Structure 1
Amino acid sequence: MERQTSEEVQKNITRVKASITIARLLALQGVAFRGHDETEESSNRGNFIEFLQLLADHNEEIGRVALDKAPPYAKYISHEIQKQILHVLAKKVRNHIFEEVGNYKYSIIVDEASDESSHEQMAIVLRFVDANGLIQERFFDIVHVENTTSKTLYTAIRSILSFYKFPIQNLRGQGYDGASNMRGEWNGLQALFLKDSPQAYYVHCMAHRLQLSLVAAAKEVYWVHEFFRNLSFIITAVTGSCKRQDQLEAAEAAKIAIQLAAGEIETGKGANQVSTLQRPCDTRWSSHLRSISNLIKLYGSTCKVLENITKDGCSSNAKWDATSALERMKSFDFIFILFLMKEILSTTDILSQALQRKSQDIFNAMILVESTKKLLNEFRDKEWDSLLAKVVGFCKQYDIEVPDLSAPFFRGRSIRKRDVTNEHHYHYDVFNAAIDVQMTELGSRFNDRVVELLKLSSSLNPRDGFKTFDIDAICKLAREYYPLDFSDDDIDTLKFQLKMFQVNIPNYPSLEKLSSIADLCKELASTRLGKEYSLIDRLIRLLLTLPVSTATGERAFSAMKIVKNRLRNKMNDDFLADSLVIFIERMIAKNFRLDDILSDFVDLKERRVLFK
């Protein structure tokens, strides 16, 4: 009896190990576990069972005990077993993140969105600086919330932090979008957390601020708003079917072939690739610029496809849509704003891309904002003539009528008539207005108390041999913005450390080559100077903890949507959340030993007893 019991236990362990291996593989790859029909008669029983069958076919030990060789009460392949394995994996990931954060100060980055089942989900990301001085952002959890009021979100986030034993007093930053329930000064989510931790400064996502500036330009200026509406209509009309996509690619390939034969363009590896049109999306960074750039590049081919649809369209609606789209494309108004927005978005795209980098530090972010405003202002004052020349030249190339710029402007009944010329309209009502809205939005959205904190932090920037190093400004930063982390005695000691650090900079050549506060933090950690200048190191880490540079919440939900599209089967929120944690933190999960996971799986309280 003892031998039989021992053999049965070993078989159970083998089955559980096989199930854990398959579950971990599928979670890391972000693919669906279950099949539509998992009965034995089905030709495709889903990824989990099919992978387990493959493993059993190539491993004799597993093949002797798994699937049909296992007793009905101990197969360990049920949906409940799969969920519990994922719970164990997710628990290990979260415990690893907790150990990484330790006693360091951290920030929370939160965003919410509805999933495919129309349930409101909230993603939580933790940002901190680790022992090596590196900025880390860890996707931590997805929580279902009944509504998106500030109190509901606050309660949910607070319960998560408490459950996983993250001290609320160590919270030093909050990163949300600009919705009123998030940024409200009195009852917003950021205000509720400020009552618990007065130094948990709210930073509206920098990349999101910029995106709101671009969207505001489209909405505030009527002509720009109308342009983007027409742009979406045109792209939809051309890319509405695979057949039209093929026609567009064929037309572009034929054009490239003609240009190559005429010697107008050069050949080379990666050159002359056939691209396609892309729909603009307000929440997808740089999508507007790509849409506009691709349309300019494919303008001739797009017109040709629309002309073909007007002649040979399969339905009247398709013909009318193509006719309307072609008419809008061949108007001077559309071409003018097409080139105008390309210049504006190209100018702001560098800032948009930089603000999305996780390693972008606060000082460089503010420099880029000011540089972008300066470039926009120079474009407004000096580039009108060059832009107009580009537009006129493009119109002549494609036989588009150019209006007499000295003639009176007239545009239908919906727009109030004024005694202005066409040149005045395009120059002041469109060109200047679009740029002015951008400038105003950039100025207003990057001008608050937190931005003042970021500006003060520039005194710690090591660029150009610590050119901006200012001891008084650094002490003011610590005293006014982090009074809980720096006592009066600490401020005095900090001032002494800063003086000593400034004197010793020439003795450390590696410090003079640094270009950002993030680099300085890594250098202090690697050279162990952080121990000698402990208060300087503490202040730098607090600054880097602020979520100033990234739309992590949006990125988290982008990842969530990718996985959701692959996990198209019925599952509860816990199953989805645990799968996501494993999927996003895959590099951490890969280091977990199978035996550790097995031991936790066996010890689950809610699990029925597996072994005697």
Structure 2
Amino acid sequence: MELLASYNEQSLIRHEIGDARFCLIVDEARDESRREQMAFVIRFVDRSGFIRERFLDIVHVKDTIAATLKEEISFVLSHHNLDVQNIRVKDMMVPVICVESGMLQLALIAAAREISDVHTFFQNLIFVINIVSASCKRNDELRAFQAATIEHLVDIGEIETGKGVNQVGSLQRPGDSRWSLHFKSICSLIKMYGATCLVLENIALDGSTYSQRGDAAFSFKLLMSFDFAFFLHIMKNVIGITDVLCQTLQQKSQDILNAMHLVTSTKTLIQKLRDDGWETLLEEVTSFCKHQDIEVPDIDAYFSSVGLSRRKTKSVTVEHHYRVDIFTAIIDQQLQELNNRFNEQAIELLKLSTALDPRNSYKLFNIEDICLLVDKFYPEDFSDQKKIHLRFQLQHYELDVDSVYLNSSCFDNNY
């Protein structure tokens, strides 16, 4: 009966939309069985001229990469006999990302984890933090070690004192679908690295069960490896750059123009990291490892490929492995995902669309931008004659808007 009602509701929604233009609001979440679900809300203007939002559908997705999401969106539209040409923003991925940053964060996480070593790193990161944060006793021990570490560094003059600085804090667990939580998790572990190692050493020696001792010993070995330290820092830098964009897109009140500028600056910073960031990163990791008594390999030596596929017979140096196979590969994956979702055409479309933003008394209203928007992105919706009329209509509209807001301002002041 519920399925029948749902089908009837969807039919009514489809009838209500008719041939109207519409936009999609798409969000992702996991159900209790941890299956990825994508929900669709459709926004349109009904026959009476009122803006409506209707819950349209919810579907299971096998993963959250861009190609899969776009395929599922196309399927849902086709299933409900909705024409993709009626989406007001024709690149389907653009409205999705502008409305909900969750998809972008999921895509960046998925893109990074396409590299198997990155996936392994995040699994190990979660494993380590779960062990250290498994009980109140371990958390208290971690905080005590961190407080002692801070006190020692202050005594020897390596860090400064002051209000609000050198707070102890705690380790943050990364989330499955939030880039920002991964960033906080990595930063917290870097800050409390020494204290974390001490807690793991204690558990490895004094744990109440063999599994606790074994897990702690394995985790301590991970933290004392150059490989883990390298991934910790490269992911901190990459996520740190992209997280600003993700946080901005997550805000309820969107400034699209500012968001598009952030897209451009994010791409620029990621590219700059790729072109010029290797030496700085290597120096940062090497300094960190020496401070934590982690052995630093000879970057000119041949990289040992123990545990890798036997088909990989090419001999490479340690530097080549970390620089090409890891550093460059991670950054290229992020750039590719950002370029797929925010290509130059999509960015221009959204920048031009800000000319229609009614906020701040239509401060961004621009006739030339609106006419260019029509010419470049909606040529089939306007005949040549309508384009000529549009420019004059916009001139009238501009004067009317100025007059309305001027009168409104005078009224408010008199009141």
Taking structure 2 as the reference length, what is the TM-score of the superposition?
0.74
Quote the offset at 1:491 in angstroms: 4.0
Distance 1:453 1:247 in 2: 54
- Three-state SS of the structure 1 residue aligned to 2:303 is coil
C-alpha spacing 1:231/1:404, structure 2 compared with 1 (3 Å) = same
Query: Which shows bigger deviation, 227-236 or 307-316?
Result: 227-236
Partner of 2:25: 109
Equivalent of residue 287 in structure 2, options 376, 382, 393: 393
Partner of 1:371: 265
The RMSD of aligned alpha carbons is 4.3
Q: Distance in 2 between matches of 1:218 and 1:122?
A: 21
Residue identity in the other structure for 1:445: R
Name the residue aligned to 1:445.
341
- Whether the 8 Å CA contact 2:132–2:199 is kept in 1: the answer is yes
Deviations 1:33-91 (A, max 9, x none): xxxxxxxxxxxxxxxxxxxxxxxxxxxxxxxxxxxxxxxxxxxxxxxxxxxxxxxxxxx
Which secondary structure does the structure 2 equivalent of 1:307 belong to? Answer: helix
Give the corresponding residue for 1:302. Answer: 196
Which structure has the larger Rg?
1
Check 1:444–1:400 CA distance in 2 against 1; reply closer, same or farther (3 A cut): same
3-state SS, counterpart of residue 109 of structure 1? strand
Q: Please name the residue that 2:301 is paired with.
A: 407
CA contact (8 A) 1:278 1:294 kept: yes
Matched residues in 2 for 1:447 and 1:114: separation? 29
Tell whether 2:200 aligns with 1:312.
no
Q: Deviations over 1:532-563 (max 9, x none)?
A: xxxxxxxxxxxxxxxxxxxxxxxxxxxxxxxx
- Residue 59 of structure 2 corresponds to 148
Structure 1 residues 271 and 191, CA gap change in structure 2 (3 angstroms): farther
Instruction: Show structure 1 runs of 5+ residues with no match.
Output: 1-104, 130-136, 151-175, 505-520, 530-612
Query: 1:433 aligned to 2:329?
Result: yes
User: 1:205 pairs with 94, 97, 107, which one?
Assistant: 97
Tell me, yes or no, if the aligned pair for 1:177 and 1:204 is still in contact at 8 Å.
Answer: no
Question: How far apart are the structure 1 equivalents of 2:286 and 2:34?
Answer: 49
Once the two structures are TM-superposed, the CA of residue 342 in structure 1 deviates from its matched residue by 0.7
Is the 2:226–2:294 Cα contact (8 Å) retained in structure 1? Answer: yes
Distance 1:344 1:122 in 2: 27
Displacement after TM superposition at 1:282 (Å): 3.0
Q: Give the letter for the 1:109 counterpart.
A: I
For 1:196 and 1:427, the matched residues in 2 are separated by 42
Give the match for residue 142 of structure 2: 248
Change in 2 beyond 3 A, CA 1:398/1:182: closer
Corresponding position of 2:315: 419
Check whether the contact 2:25–2:96 (CA below 8 A) recurs between aligned residues: no
Determine whether 1:214 maps to 2:214. no
Q: Supply the distance in 1 between the matched residues of 2:38 and 2:308 (Cα, whole angstroms).
A: 43
- The one-character-per-residue Cα deviations of 1:417-437 (angstroms, maximum 9, x if unpaired) are 421111111111111111111
Aligned-partner Cα distance in 1 for 2:142–2:150: 12
Deviation per CA, 1:164-193: give whole Å up to 9, x if none: xxxxxxxxxxxx996858754653247736
Instruction: Decide which of 301, 304, 324 is 2:218's aligned counterpart.
Output: 324
Moved more, 295-304 or 414-423: 414-423
Shift of 1:362: 2.9
Q: Does 1:187 align with 2:66?
A: no
What are the within-5 Å matches in structure 2 for residues 270-349 of structure 1? Answer: 270-349=164-243
- Quick one: which amino acid aligns to residue 243 of structure 2? D
Secondary structure class of the residue paired with 2:227: helix
Distance 1:321 1:272 in 2: 30
- Residues 256 and 125 from structure 1, CA distance in 2 versus in 1: closer, same or farther, beyond 3 angstroms? farther
CA distance in structure 1 between the aligned counterparts of 2:31 and 2:403, rounded to whole angstroms: 43
CA drift at 1:525:
7.5
Superposed, 1:568-607 pairs within 5 Å as: none
Identify the range of structure 1 (474-483 vs 271-280) with the bigger mean alpha-carbon deviation.
474-483
1:253 to partner: Cα distance: 1.6
Contact 1:376–1:435 (8 Å) recurs in 2: yes
Q: Measure, in 2, the Cα distance between the counterparts of 1:120 and 1:341.
A: 24
Higher relative CO (CA 8 A, sep ≥ 6), structure 1 or 2? Answer: 1
Match of residue 382, structure 1, among 276, 287, 296: 276
Shift of 1:217: 3.4
Structure 2 contact 289–296 (Cα < 8 Å) conserved: yes
Cα distance change, pair 420–114 in 1 and its aligned pair in 2 (3 A): closer
Q: CA deviation at 1:355?
A: 1.2
| C-alpha spacing 1:491/1:346, structure 2 compared with 1 (3 Å) | same
Structure 2 gap ranges (5+): 1-20, 46-50, 409-415
The answer to whether the 8 A contact 2:141-2:199 is kept is yes
The size of the alignment, in residue pairs, is: 372
When residues 275 and 477 of structure 1 are mapped into structure 2, their CA distance, relative to the original with a 3 A threshold, is same
Q: Provide closer, same or farther for how the CA distance between residues 232 and 501 of structure 1 changes in structure 2, counting only shifts above 3 A.
A: same
Cα displacement (A) at 1:493: 4.0
Whole-angstrom distance in 2 between the partners of 1:405 and 1:115: 45
Change (3 A) 1:501 1:375: farther
Distance 1:227 1:114, change over 3 A: closer
Q: Aligned equivalents of 1:219 and 1:106: distance in 2?
A: 34
Letter in 2 for 1:427: R
Letter in 1 for 2:241: T
Identity of aligned residues (%): 46
2:96 is matched by which residue type in structure 1? Answer: H
